[in-house]
Chains A and B, each alone.
Chain A
Amino acid sequence: MLRFLPALTLLAMLGPVIAGLWGTVLPAFGHLPAAGLSGPSLDPFRTLFDWQGLGAASRLSLTTGLIATSVSLAIVAFITAGWSGTKSFRVLERLLSPLLSVPHAAAALGLAFLITPSGWIARLMSPTLTGWDRPPDVLILQDPLGLAMIAGLVIKEVPFLLLMTIAAMGQAQPRRSLLVAQALGYGRPTGWLKTVFPRVYYQIRLPIYVVLAYSMSVVDVAVILGPSTPPTLSVQIVKWMSDPDLAMRLTGAAAALWQLGLVVFALGLWWVGERAVAHLGCHWIASGRRGRFDGPVRVVSLILGGLSACAILFGILGLIVWSFAGFWSFPNVWPDTFTWRSWDRHGPDALATLGETFLVAGVAVGFALVLVLGCLEAEHRSGRSLSWRGLWLLYLPLLVPQTAFLPGLQTLLLNLGADIGRVPVIFAHLVFVLPYVFLSLGDPWRSWDVRNATVASALGATPNRIFWQVRLPMLTRPILTAVAVGIAVSVGQYLATLLIGGGRVSTLTTEAVALASGGDRRAIGVYGLMQTFAALVPFTLALLIPTLVWRNRRGLHE
């Protein structure tokens, strides 16, 4: 049984991606039996290229992705260079780790509440600094350059990349390299960038590619913060895919392939950039320059990192305040009155949606956990560890843009006449939950001291008994953390729920994003908060449960 789990895992993870891509390719070339159309033809692409907005949408997709990724990486690299190993760094790390679980949509909604012309920042500065006594008519939100969207992506990717960097540093032994560099007269940031960063970068490369692919094709953040005329390519694809006119799906499919091409192009561009930076970096190292900007780098990076954390924290605070706000006139910083009315009105529905959200997340994570534990145990018993190729396969579902294969998967399900609803949604979530659960659990699982297994088997314990009675209990904490990561990933899924659910499955994320276009801030506050809550509670439990269960076992808390 155990032998088949790795293959089953690959099937669950890559099957929908491949099927989805197939389901995209067919209609992109004019083949859609459900609409009575059969190809091949290039008409869908002709329609796509005739669309006025294609240039702007493609440019937006590329710029938001590349800028958001570079800025996030730069902030993370400079913060780590300037501060790793210090007290401030640990504070920032503690601050950012829980933010990782805040869903993209909730973070984007919170940010929107901060930066809209009638948001908190404008209110704080008005009327003293700005002279505004009513909200100005400027488009800070949904600006045509996508700056607000980039900001929304950066505040979420900084925690992700920072935690990836910290995890990667465990293997690079940064302290010793830094000591040597400092003894040779290098300041902390320059020394770190020259000695540690190249090795760390090698480790976080795949996560960076994921960030790039994700930022280019994200839908929920783009709906909330991105420009609307024209929207980003991904948003337009979703519009085409949900058009009542089935023929529009052909254009949508062609656009999805175009999107895939753009992502591949951007990844290639990034790859070339890596080489250029590496080349320049080697020069910089060989030059022996000790770095002239160590001071400013430290200060600026800390400010940016702090800003990024504060944007999410105050954004969530904004959601809280709006959900309790009665009448709130401009430019007052606080609502004129506080009331339970929004919770009374939206609370019961939100709670029911929370149930649906957890049901989908729970089943998907349950499957993921069984598959991942099975794979890891099979890996342990066969003595073969995950190869580089295996790691790439694990990252593949995260690298293929969602907008490229989810519409195809939806079309395929329609063609098959399969029921669209909760079960397909769960399996679509599994595609994204699986890799994250695997990545989260893999390292702690492999760094478990296998001599424990040797001792247990020397005591006569069978492999199954070792698995259930020794390894699982000893790894309670990382397993629960992986479960929490999986739930957070599932809770945050927007496109998979929207498209595969066919509008019949609504989770807190789809509801919150749907509300975003309406502008009822109190309702957005309620749903955004519930969404954050749904992602954060499992993490809190993952911390609490082992502490309670193993309260008399000190050896498990070190």
Chain B
Amino acid sequence: MELEIKNLCVSVNNKKILNDFNLTIKKGEVHAIMGPNGTGKSTLSRVLLGDSNYCIDSGDIFLDHESILNLDTFLRARKGMFLCYQNPLSIDGITNSEFIRTALNEQLEKPIGLYDFIKQMEQNIDDLSMKQDMMHRNLNQGFSGGERKKNEVLQMKMLKPKFVIFDELDSGLDVDSLKIVCDNINEYLSENPDTSVLIITHYKRILDYIHPDYVHIMKNGTITGSGDLSLAQKIEKFGYDEAFATIPGEDNE
């Protein structure tokens, strides 16, 4: 699935957050955005999913060449967009399986049978080294930070999206869990090669597992420079400003 963001300007309470933002992610490509805190990275992920708290001042977002600006959040998700949240919510009274089954049935013409659903869930829960009782527990209720992140990836594997945004996937995951989660994502991407990915991160370590085709630096609501994985290495070593100064052809004043 191809995503194109064109000259996007976004504000909240009259404060500009995204400023003439441009990015194209082609089918099957993996892009990573890195940037200092408060630069609008998480805002971008919520805007892509249509969070109505943000005001689109100008610009457009295209999914497979069709504008999605007028689509409600649930319709964007049904088109194949998926946001893996930085801080997934917990909701008391809705079980994990009930939530995922409802979401899955919304995109199917014929509801999935209970047996098939449980079989798929059990397999994916095993793959992610989660406890089987997670299926019957309330959505993220009492889950640790790492369990919540695994639960997000479980949802991804069940719902099979075509465009996935990982917003700080590595926060809250220990080293072993990060590897398990990334192995699952890589397996998903090799089984679904048309799926495009946007990784939002502060640290390079996740990019050691999921190799990006492009790395972008984001600052003050816009992309200020792009490169390959070596850019992430420079950011980690020298910080954003110095790494940006090394990008050839950029206006680094």
**Is B truly associated with A?**
no
